[in-house]
Chain A
Amino acid sequence: MKQAIALFRKDLSSEIRTRYAINSLLMFIIVTISVILYAIGQEKISDYLTGGLLWVIVFFTAMSGLSRTFVSEEERGTVMALQLSATPETVLSGKFMFNLVLMFSMNIIILVLYSLLFEAFVLKNLSLFLAAYLLGNIGIASASTVIAAIISKAGSKGTLYPVLAFPILLPLMLTLIETTKMSMDGTPFDESLVELAVLGSYNVVMIAASYLLFDIIWKD
Chain B
Amino acid sequence: MNNYSLSVSGLTKVFGRRLIFRGIDLEITGPGIYGISGINGSGKSTFVKIIAGLLTPSKGAVEHKLNGKKAEDEELPGIIGLASPYLMLYDEFTAEENIDFFSKVRGGKFSSERMRNLFDYFGLTERKDDLLKTYSSGMKQRVKFIFALQHQPSLLILDEPVSNLDIAGKNQIYDMVRDYACEHVVIVASNEESDLALCSRVIYLGDYKNNGNGEGR
A and B touch in the complex (CB under 8 A): yes
Binding site for B on A (CB under 8 A): 2-3, 6-7, 10, 13-14, 17-18, 76-78, 80-87, 89-90, 94, 219-220
Choose from A13, A85, A89 the contact partner of B102 (Cβ within 8 Å).
A85
Report B-chain residues with C-beta under 8 Å of the C-beta of A87: 73-74, 77
Report B-chain residues with C-beta under 8 Å of the C-beta of A18: 92
Asked if residues B90 and A10 are in contact (CB atoms below 8 Å), the reply is: yes
Choose from A10, A81, A220 the contact partner of B87 (Cβ within 8 Å).
A81
Asked if residues A86 and B86 are in contact (CB atoms below 8 Å), the reply is: no
Which of A81, A83, A84, A220 is packed against the most chain B CB atoms within 10 Å? A84
Asked if residues B92 and A17 are in contact (CB atoms below 8 Å), the reply is: yes
Binding site for A on B (CB under 8 A): 52-56, 73-74, 77, 80-82, 86-93, 101-102, 104-107, 147
Report B-chain residues with C-beta under 8 Å of the C-beta of A81: 87-89, 102, 147
CA distance A127 to B128 in the complex (A): 51
Asked if residues A84 and B52 are in contact (CB atoms below 8 Å), the reply is: yes
Chain B residue, CB-CB nearest to A18 = B92
Asked if residues B89 and A6 are in contact (CB atoms below 8 Å), the reply is: no
Where chain A touches its partner, the secondary structure class is: helix
Asked if residues A10 and B77 are in contact (CB atoms below 8 Å), the reply is: no
A-B pairs with beta carbons under 8 A, tally: 69
Report B-chain residues with C-beta under 8 Å of the C-beta of A89: 74
Chain A residue, CB-CB nearest to B98 = A81
CA distance A220 to B93 in the complex (A): 26
CA distance A85 to B148 in the complex (A): 9
Q: Say whether, besides A14-B92, A14-B93, A80-B86, A220 and B105 are in contact (CB < 8 Å).
A: no
Asked if residues A82 and B105 are in contact (CB atoms below 8 Å), the reply is: yes
Asked if residues A6 and B55 are in contact (CB atoms below 8 Å), the reply is: no
Report B-chain residues with C-beta under 8 Å of the C-beta of A220: 54-56
CA distance A78 to B55 in the complex (A): 15
Report A-chain residues with C-beta under 8 Å of the C-beta of B102: 81, 85
Which of B73, B87, B107 is packed against the most chain A CB atoms within 10 Å? B107
Asked if residues A77 and B55 are in contact (CB atoms below 8 Å), the reply is: no
Q: Nearest Cβ distance between residue A10 and chain B, in whole angstroms?
A: 5
Q: Say whether, besides A77-B88, A78-B90, A87-B74, A3 and B55 are in contact (CB < 8 Å).
A: no
CA distance A220 to B50 in the complex (A): 10
Beyond the given pairs A76-B91, A77-B86, 16 more chain A to chain B contacts, judged by CB atoms under 8 angstroms and listed by A's residue number, are: A17-B92, A76-B88, A77-B88, A78-B90, A81-B89, A84-B52, A84-B54, A84-B87, A85-B106, A86-B77, A87-B73, A87-B77, A219-B55, A219-B56, A220-B55, A220-B56
